[in-house]
């Protein structure tokens, strides 16, 4: 992949480095490239290249966020084993650095991945880890709503509809606060 004739991220001028950092700051919630229809393969290629660049530049925190986005894209592309491998190593790195907000996002993504694979015990364990990380800090309403929504899905899958309803209602309230409904 090239960018204006540059063959790798090392050759991109410093100003563009800052632009990419600004554009990719919150990868788990909004990605400008993701809003453009038909750019799924571009997003995957961009994430792969960004991971290589962040490793070369030793940008650990940015690499972790990009890898989390990359794992979400892999899951969306139904490459579950690759996403699970990436998430397993990412959880260890993020725990070591004690980034609770990112850890909650990664655990929630892992729960969704296990739910997609129909492995409910592991999905519940990952969701419990996400809730634990979320309780340690204040999380944004979007992340709390996503945790409640996943909890509702897991309880509905177990046919515990009363508890599922309460989690769905909590998720609704969280998303409604943000005017996303």
Residue 101: give its domain's CATH number: 1.25.40.10
Q: Are residues 17 and 81 in the same domain?
A: yes
Q: Are residues 71 and 46 in the same domain?
A: yes
Q: Are residues 129 and 156 in the same domain?
A: no
Contact criterion met (CB below 8 Å) for 164 and 155: yes
Domain that holds residue 180: 140-181
Q: Are residues 34 and 118 in the same domain?
A: yes
Round to whole Å and give the CA distance between 67 and 2. Answer: 20
Output DSSP code: residue 12.
S
Q: What is the pLDDT along the chain (181 residues), one digit of tens a residue?
A: 444 444 444 444 443 344 334 333 344 345 666 677 777 788 888 889 999 999 999 988 899 999 999 999 999 889 999 999 999 999 999 999 888 999 999 999 999 999 999 999 999 999 999 999 999 998 888 899 999 999 999 999 999 999 999 999 999 998 888 875 5
The owner of tokens 């892992």 is: 110
Q: How many domains does the chain have?
A: 2
What is the 3-state secondary structure of 129-148? HHHHHHHHCCCCHHHHHHHH
Burial 129-143 (b: 16+ CB within 10 A, else e): bbbebbeeeebeebb
Round to whole Å and give the CA distance between 96 and 176. Answer: 34
Please tell me the pTM assigned to this model. Answer: 0.78
Q: Are residues 106 and 147 in the same domain?
A: no
Position 164 in a domain:
yes
Work out the angle at residue 55's Cα, subtended by the Cα atoms of residues 63 and 146, and round it to the nearest 5 degrees: 15
Round to whole Å and give the CA distance between 90 and 93. Answer: 5
Strand partners, 3: 6
Position 3 in a domain:
no
Q: Are residues 104 and 18 in the same domain?
A: yes
Position 172 in a domain:
yes
Q: Are residues 78 and 151 in the same domain?
A: no
């Amino acid at each position: 992949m090239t960018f204006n004739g540059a063959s790798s991220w090392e050759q991109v001028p410093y100003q563009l480095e800052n632009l990419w950092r600004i554009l990719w700051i919150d990868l788990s919630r909004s990605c400008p490239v993701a809003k453009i229809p038909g750019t799924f393969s571009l997003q995957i290629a961009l994430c792969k290249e960004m991971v290589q660049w962040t490793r070369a530049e030793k940008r650990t925190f940015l690499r972790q966020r990009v890898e989390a986005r990359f794992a979400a894209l892999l899951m969306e592309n139904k490459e579950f084993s690759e996403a699970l491998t990436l998430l397993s190593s990412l959880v260890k790195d993020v725990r070591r650095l004690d980034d609770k907000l990112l850890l909650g996002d990664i655990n929630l993504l892992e729960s969704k991945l296990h739910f997609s694979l129909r492995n409910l015990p592991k999905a519940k364990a990952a969701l419990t880890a996400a809730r634990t990380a979320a309780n340690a800090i204040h999380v944004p309403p979007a992340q709390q709503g996503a945790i409640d929504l996943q909890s509702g899905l897991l309880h509905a899958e177990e046919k515990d509809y009363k508890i599922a309803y309460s989690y769905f209602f909590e998720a609704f309230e969280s998303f409604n606060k943000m005017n996303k409904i």
